[in-house]
Amino acid sequence: MSIHLPEPFQSWFSQQGWTPRPHQLAMLQAAEDGVSALLIAPTGGGKTLAGFLPSLIELAKGSYAKGGLHTIYVSPLKALSTNIAESLSRPIMEMGLPVRIEVRSGDTSAVRRKRQQKNPPHILLTTPESLALLLSYPDAAEYFSTLRALIIDEVHALAGTKRGDQLSLCASRLRTFAPAMRCSGLSATVAHPSAIAAWVSPTGHASGVRIVTAEDGVRPDVHVLLPDQRGYLPWAGRTGLGSATAILTAIAAARLTIVFVNSRAQAELLFQALWKDNTENLPIGLHHGSLDTTRRAKVEEAMAQGTLRAVVATSSLDLGLDWGAVDQIIQLGAPKQISRLTQRIGRANHRMDEPSRALLAPANRFEVLECEAAREAVLRHELDGAPPRAGTFDVLAQHVLVTACAGPFFPDALYKEVRRTAPYSQLSRTDFDDIIRFVEDGGYALQAYDRHQRLFRDSLGQLWVRNEQIIRQFRMNIGTIVDTPLLRVKSRRGKTFGEIDEYFASTLVPGDTFLLGGELLEFLGMQDTTVQAARGRGKDPRVPVYGGNQLSISPGLARHVREMLHEPSSWNVLPPSVQDWLTLQSERSRLPEPDQLLVETFPHRGWHYLVAYTFEGRNAHQTLGLLLTKKLEDTGKGPLGFVANDYMVACWCVHPPGSITDLFSRTLLEGSLTEWLDESSMLRRTFRDVAIIAGLVERNYPGREKNRRQMTISSDLLYDVLRKYDPDHILLRATRLQAAEGLTDLARLSEMLERIQGHIEHVSLPHVSPLAVPVLLEQGREKIRGGEGEDYLLAEADRLYELAATP
């Protein structure tokens, strides 16, 4: 390689005892050549420094001495920015570079923001939301005109998400203001390099982007950790609390462990379980997205100072934070995705030339299969995950308003700018115009009362925002992360028990009991936005579910699990209890065979259940659940709901499901699914997010946040009206497109139906089978609303009252 580190960088590297790694020099070369680049390097490979070196070297030359923004660094996590600012300040100080670095996020004070606005730093570390906000100010064009580099960290975690869509649109805006700007994407795990390269490209296409790949790190050291020596595993459940003792032992054997879990609820429960057992008082902390900033900051600081022995964390610690020498990670619960597991394993050991140590702790019997399959896949360096999808319309609608807030714009020019991003490179002009119209006046077929539009056109054809109030109001609502609000749980006397997810609260009925903070509470009712509860007693308390995505298993991993299950000779790696479980299933019912579809029916809790072992992954099973319940509704079976996991789908009805061969016949796919899908709660949830991001529903409303519930109209009501009078409205199209992303295409199910015709193995059982237990305990049940099943239930309740009234 012809490129060398200039002084004083060369000497500084030598002082550290380092030599520049080849990928660091390659990134330097790319910057020298003025091209955008994608760097794929394992954790501990000096990735961040590789991203910043070109900027530091340019700035060292002193041409920005008078000031001006040179580099913007964007990461998915606020905390990552703060972390990077600290680690960069050392080389800057030691080499005496004329470089000023500042962080800008939602937490930045108003005073500091004002100063940053007047006197920009050389390097600004920020998040996609804060960048969008900066772009909405009238001086954006001038502010960003000196920009030379955009660094996007953990690019794989952004590409293909709504935040990523927003960032790519912002990047294109930045290029309009600073045409010489180059972009560097940094990532540790990339399953689809050219798709990600397109993502950092100035044209939206991969050609012209330099892909720099660092050498692989050392093979990690991965083992499965069982709850006890005898190898007993629970039938179901996802919390994995039975492994607490084994985890504690493993923590005691290492310096610093991160215990990754799959949900916030699980994190809370495990944290308590560990402390209950923690006789040695090992310092163990907790880190997840629902904790307040100060508590999280304390844990981060303690990790950095080496005063902690373990941290229980959700995905909030997935990304490349560098808080101390983690030497082991434990994944508790299903790994779900090979790439994510690889990323998490990479958190252990920030040195590239030592193996990362990882333990996989399954929470139930199915998860043992998944852990074993994932372990093998990680060692084979397999990666999974779908390539980034196309950009969504709701984010684009928000971006149109961001653009308009900064000043008037020509739709033609914005369309060209938008098409230069990878997510929107295929966007049609019709869709773009529909989005503009939506932002302008709502874009409704029923043209209502047009005296109050949001944008107006001048004689040149430029679009302007109608007034300052709309701009101020909109700036409070920028961002594409839609949190389910948390509601405070209080006693009648006003004592606060804690917070629960609004969605979970909406499923509670007076008299229900639930667990919160280790207490058993009885739900009394809602008062405004507080949940009223009292200490209670009762069986079957429910455990609060917190929003946040329930990650689905990748199709690749699901396939590995299925193969293991079909091959009893591969069971010898499984603990005895799991082997027994599978054997028990073969005795009580049957084991699913490779070329068959096993369907079990049995009565359970007063309903008629049907479980199909399809092994097509949760997404395909969601679609299948919709199809099955539609056919069951059409044939008068009164379906009440369905639930899917990665391996199977279960439906329940008030009447027996009838002939299984008829149900799974080819006609399952006939007839229109659209109407049924439109009615589903899945679509309603998707629409809610779309409506919020596109600006149809406000999140923040100055001074009136307290009355939010009274002020906003539920997105469900909007959805129903819109569907009735404007079925092709751009936001409904956006909703259906997004839902379709989650649901596997019908082609795959059609293939499956074709394959199983004549090979359906129906087993009618007196009660639930061993293999079906996990799915019945699965969360995320989809209910069938307003169908014959509910009519039946209402009539039944009515008859009970009549009976009670009869003397």
Partner 1 sequence: MTFREIELAGERIWLLAGGAVFLPETQTLVVADLHLGKGTSARIRGLLLPPGDTISTLEKVQRLVEDYKPRLLIALGDSFHDAKAGERLLDIEKMMLRSIVSKTSILWITGNHDALPVPDIAGEWLEDYRFGNLILRHIPSEIVPTGKAELAGHLHPKIRMRIRGHAMSRACFVKGPDRLILPALGSYTGGLDVSDPTFSGLFADGSAAYVWSADRISRVA
Task: Return residues touching partner 1 (CB under 8 A).
Answer: 438, 441-442, 444, 446, 448-449, 451-452, 454, 466-467, 469-470, 473-474, 506-512, 524-527, 605-607, 640-641, 696, 698, 709, 713-714, 717-718, 720-722, 724-726, 729, 783, 785-786, 789-791, 793-798, 801-802
Q: Which two tokens stand for residue 540?
A: 């079957």
Name the minimum Å distance from CB 389 to partner 1.
26
Q: Which two tokens stand for residue 538?
A: 């009762």
Residue in the block written with tokens 């600290």? 86
Q: Nearest Cα to 783, choosing from 485, 503, 452?
A: 503
Residues 81 and 319: their CA atoms lie apart, in Å, by 12
**Nearer Cβ to partner 1 (303/731):** 731
- Across the strands, what pairs with 607? 604
Residues 514 and 523: their CA atoms lie apart, in Å, by 8
Q: What is the DSSP letter of 699?
A: S
**Nearer Cβ to partner 1 (591/776):** 776
Name the minimum Å distance from CB 687 to partner 1.
11
**Nearer Cβ to partner 1 (321/406):** 406
Where are the strands (E) in 605-737, listed by range?
607-613, 639-644, 649-653
Which residues in 409-440 are b (16+ Cβ under 10 Å) and which e?
bebeebbebbbbbbbbbebeeebbebbbebbb
Backbone angles phi, psi at 585, to 5 degrees: -60, -40
End-to-end CA distance of the chain: 97
My answer on whether omega of the bond before 6 falls inside 30° of 0, hence cis, is: no
Name the minimum Å distance from CB 133 to partner 1.
18
Q: Which two tokens stand for residue 425?
A: 């490179």
Residues 594 and 247: their CA atoms lie apart, in Å, by 36
Q: What is the DSSP letter of 643?
A: E
Q: Which two tokens stand for residue 20?
A: 């520049």
Name the minimum Å distance from CB 571 to partner 1.
35
Q: Using an 8 Å Cβ cutoff, are 522 and 536 in contact?
A: yes
**Nearer Cβ to partner 1 (380/605):** 605
Residue in the block written with tokens 């606005």? 117
Backbone angles phi, psi at 68, to 5 degrees: 110, 145
**Nearer Cβ to partner 1 (640/771):** 640
Name the minimum Å distance from CB 634 to partner 1.
16
Name the minimum Å distance from CB 375 to partner 1.
38
Name the minimum Å distance from CB 438 to partner 1.
8
Name the minimum Å distance from CB 633 to partner 1.
13
Name the minimum Å distance from CB 505 to partner 1.
10
**Nearer Cβ to partner 1 (113/736):** 736
**Nearer Cβ to partner 1 (199/523):** 523
**Nearer Cβ to partner 1 (230/724):** 724
Residues 9 and 7: their CA atoms lie apart, in Å, by 5
**Nearer Cβ to partner 1 (228/796):** 796
Name the minimum Å distance from CB 735 to partner 1.
13
**Nearer Cβ to partner 1 (113/783):** 783
The residue length of the chain stands at 807
Residues 219 and 265: their CA atoms lie apart, in Å, by 32
